[in-house]
Amino acid sequence: MEESLIALETQKINAWFGKDQVLFEVSVRIPRQRVTAIMGPSGCGKTTFVRTLNGLHLMTPGARSSGTILLEGVDTSTMDVVDVRKHIGMVFQRPNPFPTMTVYENVLAGYRLTGQRLSREQADEIVEKTLTKVGLWGEVQEKLFKAGTSLSGGQQQRLCIARTIAMEPAVVLFDEPTSALDPKSTAIIEDLLSTLKADYTILFVTHGLQQAARISDYVAFFMMGELVEFGETKRVFVGPQDKRTEDYLSGKYG
Amino acid sequence: MAQRSHSDRRELIREHAFSAAGLTAAIALVATIVLFFVQLFVTSRASRTAFGLSFLWRSEWNPVTEQFAALPMVVGTLATGFGALLISTPFALGIAIFLADYAGKKVAEPIKYLIGLLGGLPSVIFGLWGLFVLVPLVSKFEVWFGNLVGSEALVASGTTGVGLLAAILLLAIMILPFSSSLILESLLVVPAELKEGALALGATKWDTIQSIELPYVRKSTVGALVLSLGRALGETMAVTMVIGNGMKMPRTLFDPGNTLASAIANQFLEATSPLYVASLIELALILFVIAIIINIAARVILRRGVQQ
Amino acid sequence: MTRRTFKNNVMGLLVAASAGLLIAVLAVILWHIFISGIRYLNWDFFTKAPAPMGESGGGVFNAIVGTFLITFVAAAIGTPFGIFAGIYVSEHRGQRFADIVRLCADALQGVPSIVIGIFGYTFLVVRFRSYSALSASIALAFMFVPTTARVTEEVLNLVPSGLKEAAYALGARPSSVVWNVSIKTAASGITSGLMTSMARVAGETAPLLFTAFGSRYIEWNMLRPMSALPLQIYIYASSPYPALQQQAWSAAFVLVLLILLLQYGAKHLIARVLRVKA
């Protein structure tokens, strides 16, 4: 792969919670404007891995990590963590719109929380553009000034995606964003990914093999805190090179 | 994009101001305790030089001869505090168990509301009620009891109703909402599986309470009671209004007496000489130290109770 | 009936009886305050200062004014300290110093009110060379801070960590997360905590005895001695005159109403306002 096609690269990431090491020497190069699925059995470190990327794992008391993360070739440890997070957005497992904000305010939450002022016109434009992008504009146009939490679960999750991409990040991390949703809402979000990857580099944590196969261009397979295999999705699913991947794909780990 | 974006200076200043404010407030809170101690210690110096440690165990408190010692008040404080705890604990346990295991939501919620109401009434209101309602009743009881045992001394020692007994009864009522809601809190965290397990084995409700719940909350109940004791020991206005401002060592529960708190409230404005003032401040110092120790001990016990 | 089921029934009765007793005691106390309090209430009682010695009539307007002024100034002084200390402990959860701060807040809540009064006298009144309402407010602020700090901390801890993470993930700094997410989400809990602290402080007598001292006049100047309802109740109740004792009951009635208003009325009002906004 050519350098210019790499959006994000990690070199020998280790992570610990207290004395327990949960990530071991994870080195991976994430291609630009593609969906990369991060998969593996539960407890394999996939969520921790994406949280190290935007420094959110440090929110857990006793957590620490080592290694290098290169965002567009720049070592993120030389950057203000706040700037890192502006470039690497994140969508969480459970929809979590801010309960004190309206739908409209939720879309602009990132600007407000980082103290960036917007004119009325700019704000209106961002809200409409972003909600349209996540396919929510038509559904919530009449509810813009109702509480964000008044929407359905699937709509809330798309609102959270809107909130994230409103900040125009380069990379968006999805941490099992459909695991709390019904199949229909899940399908809508999966469809959304194919349009979003035109603009963003996407990392999508999932423990569902089917889902990884459906949505991703590349897949990184984790087990026991190690990156076991990385490659194009088709290639990995058809001809895994590592025995452990093969076993997992054939259902030996349940 | 790949270069480090220029951080807004104002944003960083606000960030520093924010953490500084938090740290300042936190330090101020800790410093308050030190400040209280130092202030009381320094201003009670006259009394400490005059009486030394014997202030703690001598029993003469006489403003006329300027002899001051804390023992009568210490005794009064302990007698009323433990007396109140002794009387109110069975009821507090009963109320907490009733609310946790017997009352349905429809009954328990209003009662909890009432407990909050009773606990929120100001001390001076209890004092007012104690003075005009409880004290006359205690007085009647004293006359009746004196005649019953035929004790001239008892009758003579005072049938006005004011005194340690009235203070104990009033305190018992006052700490009841506090102790019962603390005990209730710990009862509510007993895992339902434990209770259901016992019930499934054919235990009666009371068997379950006795053999599962109460042992489970033993530590936190002790913590709750120690906290309540702390409350009772420091309770001021209500006690001041019904205890009778007696300066001598009380001999019976019918005697007028004083607690550390009530002695200060009753006498501070009358204290004219510097030594008298300093002695009253030393009483406050003793009370402060006792309160801090008891509260910290109770919190430690409560925390262990929760962890276990 | 076996011995065990007999015991079961008896104990059931006993615990129910203790709850019944509690309700009875509360009912008796409230009944006395209501009956004795309402008997001497009239318009003058709310609008006039105490009558000169030896004259009948008069009211406790001076004390009502004093209670409001002293309580609000105490809250104004104590709130920022309490809230920031609460934020500090909540944000540094699990750290040693935060634990110490929490323990100190707990310990301070247990400091007897008379000790606060004596402290106020030696620390403030002696320094200012005068009894004053302001020294009373400062003394009460020492009671206000630890309760506010604990309530703030507890309510902040209830804010789902997912919300804070979401804000951090958007690039927010800690102060922004605390103000725009945590405090806003916990606003109703914090305000109701503040109201409860105010209600508690409004009923305190002992810290005022040697600071506000009391006054027979309607006083608005915080640097002068001032009356307050609890103080007036204490002074009237301890007086030998039945007329004043009767006024003590009425003042008690007013104080209880005021406290209930602060504690429950304001709480519901605020809850409604916040809900409408959300």
pLDDT at C277: 45
Q: Is the pLDDT of residue B270 over 50?
A: yes
Q: CB of B175 within 8 Å of any CB in chain C?
A: no
Q: Kindly indicate the confidence band of residue A3, based on its pLDDT and cuts at 50, 70 and 90.
A: low
Lowest mean pLDDT across A111-115, B105-109, B201-205, C79-83: B201-205
- Rounded to the nearest integer, the mean pLDDT of chain B is 90
C181:A98 CB<8 A = yes
For the stretch C143-199, pLDDT in tens is: 999 999 999 999 999 999 999 999 999 999 999 999 999 999 999 889 989 998 999
**Alpha-carbon gap, residue A91 to A3, rounded angstroms:** 27
Tell me the mean pLDDT in the region A143-168: 94
Please state the ipTM of this predicted complex: 0.93
pLDDT at C67: 97
B2:A72 CB<8 A = yes
pLDDT at B3: 36
Chains that touch B (3 or more CB pairs under 8 A): A, C
For the stretch B89-142, pLDDT in tens is: 999 999 999 999 998 889 999 999 999 999 999 999 999 999 999 999 998 888
Q: What residue ranges define each of the domains in chain B, with the CATH number in brackets?
A: 44-307 (1.10.3720.10)
> For chain B, what percent of residues have pLDDT higher than 90?
69
Q: What is the pTM of this model?
A: 0.90
Question: Can you give the residue ranges of every domain in chain C?
Answer: 3-39, 45-277
Cβ-Cβ contacts under 8 Å, C16 against chain B:
98, 102
Q: CB of B103 within 8 Å of any CB in chain C?
A: yes
Tell me the C-alpha to C-alpha distance, in Å, between residue A195 and each of A30, A133, A185, A215: 18, 8, 16, 11
pLDDT at B10: 79
Tell me the mean pLDDT in the region A11-33: 94
pLDDT at A99: 92
Indicate the burial class of A119 (C-beta count within 10 angstroms; 0-12, 13-18, 19 or more): exposed
Cβ-Cβ contacts under 8 Å, B3 against chain A:
74
> For chain A, what percent of residues have pLDDT higher than 70?
97
Of residues C7, C18, C200, nearest to B94 (C-beta): C18
> For chain B, what percent of residues have pLDDT higher than 70?
94
Q: Kindly indicate the confidence band of residue B153, based on its pLDDT and cuts at 50, 70 and 90.
A: low
Q: Is the pLDDT of residue A92 over 90?
A: yes
**Alpha-carbon gap, residue B157 to C59, rounded angstroms:** 39
| Tokens at A39, concatenated | 């998969």
Q: Is the pLDDT of residue B1 over 50?
A: no
Count of CB atoms situated within 10 Å of the CB of C140: 32
Write the CATH number of the domain with boundaries C45-277.
Answer: 1.10.3720.10
Q: Which residues of chain C have pLDDT under 70?
A: 1, 267, 270-278
Rounded to a whole number, what is the distance in Å from the CA of A153 to chain B's nearest CA?
31
Tell me the mean pLDDT in the region A102-116: 93
Rounded to a whole number, what is the distance in Å from the CA of C261 to chain A's nearest CA?
27
**Alpha-carbon gap, residue A74 to B254, rounded angstroms:** 83
Tell me whether strands A218-223 and A226-232 are parallel, antiparallel or unpaired. Answer: antiparallel
The nearest alpha carbon in chain A to C177 belongs to A113
* Whole-number CA gyration radius for chain A: 18
Instruction: List residues in chain B touching A: CB distance below 8 A.
Output: 1-5, 7-8, 11
Q: Kindly indicate the confidence band of residue B304, based on its pLDDT and cuts at 50, 70 and 90.
A: confident
Q: CB of A196 within 8 Å of any CB in chain C?
A: no
Indicate the burial class of B200 (C-beta count within 10 angstroms; 0-12, 13-18, 19 or more): exposed
Tell me the mean pLDDT in the region B252-261: 91
Bridge partners of residue A220, in order along the sequence: A38, A230
For the stretch B11-58, pLDDT in tens is: 888 899 999 999 999 999 999 999 999 999 999 999 999 999 999 999
